[in-house]
């Protein structure tokens, strides 16, 4: 369990059948921001060539490979093995959270059960992942956001307009940000971190990178609907832009005599 000043201890369980190996390194780079991946396991039928793309990542990332043959067509033995291991690890009580790497909704109940036991659950999957699984996690991170070129790197590079690199307009995030600003003061200002906490509580898959921004502050600014106030010490506040009333500038009509 997490000690004083130590990062959260996490178990990373990967469903190889529903995760592309090309996202592997980006996923683990993201996990470093969340805690320490002390348990690293991957599940699938590696007897053929279908999952051979994982070979390099398994070695370079020190992932423990669990070979699970599908003895019956239509039955995924790897999913069952992953769930059994997750339950064993949960009952040992040595972890602070889990990273479930899959786009399969079959792990929805697993995420719910782990959270019921007080563990934090981070989901990693593609945008096609069913809502049920995304909502069952504390946070759900789209793997596409981890591998796409970020607009804010400032290196002058322009990503090719692939299907994955298409970003949502920042203006589409206005509604969800506004809904999380319930405790604004009399002048409309609210602590940005509080806004972020409420957003993730309501929408675990929310991510500023979906809108081409590296963080919530930048997203709010680019949306054009909010003001940002940064104070000494790094504290950031946000409020809706005050719409100025439009005046015609015309004087009242005088009645003709």
Per-residue pLDDT reduced to its tens digit, 208-236? 999 999 999 999 999 999 999 999 888 99
Give the CA distances from residue 48 to residues 18, 55, 58, 70, 75, in Å, rounded to whole numbers and listed in that order. 16, 12, 16, 12, 17
Token pair 């995760």 is found at 19
We report the CATH number of the domain holding residue 98 as: 3.40.50.1010
Torsion region of 60: left, alpha or beta (phi above 0 gives left; psi -120 to 50 gives alpha): alpha
pLDDT at 72: 54
pLDDT at 244: 64
Q: Are residues 206 and 135 in the same domain?
A: no
Mean pLDDT, the chain, rounded, equals: 87
Assigned domain for 227 exists: yes
Give the least confident one: 73-77, 130-134, 181-185, 195-199. 73-77
Assigned domain for 41 exists: yes
Q: Are residues 142 and 175 in the same domain?
A: no
pLDDT at 101: 98
Domain boundary among 85, 119, 149: 149
Assigned domain for 135 exists: yes
pLDDT at 23: 96
Q: What is the percentage of the chain residues whose pLDDT exceeds 70?
A: 84
Structure token digits, residue 39: 């348990």
Assigned domain for 175 exists: yes
Q: Give mean pLDDT, residues 197-217.
A: 94
Per-residue pLDDT reduced to its tens digit, 47-80? 888 899 999 999 999 999 999 876 655 457 899 9
pLDDT at 59: 96
First to last CA, the chain: 88
Per-residue pLDDT reduced to its tens digit, 120-132? 999 999 999 999 9
Q: Which residue has the higher pLDDT, 187 or 194?
A: 194
Assigned domain for 2 exists: no
Q: Are residues 187 and 102 in the same domain?
A: no
Assigned domain for 254 exists: no
Q: Are residues 136 and 79 in the same domain?
A: yes
Q: What is the percentage of the chain residues whose pLDDT exceeds 90?
A: 73
Q: Give mean pLDDT, residues 129-145.
A: 97
pLDDT at 186: 78
Q: Contact, 10 vs 37, CB < 8 A? A: yes
Give the least confident one: 164-168, 192-196, 205-209. 164-168
Domain span at residue 37? 7-149
Q: Which residue has the higher pLDDT, 224 or 153?
A: 224
Assigned domain for 200 exists: yes
Q: Are residues 79 and 130 in the same domain?
A: yes
How many domains does one find in the chain? 2
159 pLDDT tier (thresholds 50, 70, 90): very low
Q: Are residues 108 and 17 in the same domain?
A: yes
């Amino acid at each position: 369990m997490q000690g004083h000043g130590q990062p959260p201890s996490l178990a990373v369980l990967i469903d190889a059948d529903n995760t592309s190996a090309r996202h592997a390194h980006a996923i683990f780079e993201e996990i470093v921001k969340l805690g320490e991946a002390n348990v690293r396991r991957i599940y699938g039928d590696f007897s053929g060539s279908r999952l051979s793309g994982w070979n390099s990542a398994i070695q370079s990332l020190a992932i423990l490979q669990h070979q699970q043959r599908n003895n019956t067509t239509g039955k995924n033995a790897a999913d069952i093995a992953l769930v059994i291991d997750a339950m064993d690890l949960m009952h040992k009580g040595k972890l602070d959270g889990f990273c479930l790497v899959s786009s399969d909704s079959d792990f929805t109940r697993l995420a719910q059960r782990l959270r019921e036991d007080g563990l934090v659950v981070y989901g990693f999957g593609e945008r096609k992942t069913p809502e049920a699984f995304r909502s069952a996690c504390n946070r759900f991170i789209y793997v596409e956001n981890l591998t796409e070129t970020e607009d804010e790197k400032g290196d002058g590079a322009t990503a090719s307009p692939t299907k994955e690199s298409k970003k949502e307009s920042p203006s589409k995030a206005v509604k969800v940000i506004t809904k999380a600003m319930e405790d604004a003061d009399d002048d409309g200002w609210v602590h940005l971190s509080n806004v972020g906490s409420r957003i993730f509580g309501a929408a675990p898959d929310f991510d500023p990178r979906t809108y081409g921004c590296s963080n919530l502050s930048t997203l709010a600014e680019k949306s054009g609907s909010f003001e940002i106030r940064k104070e000494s010490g790094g504290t950031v506040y946000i409020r809706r832009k005050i719409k100025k009333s439009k005046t015609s500038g015309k004087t009242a009509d005088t009645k003709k005599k």
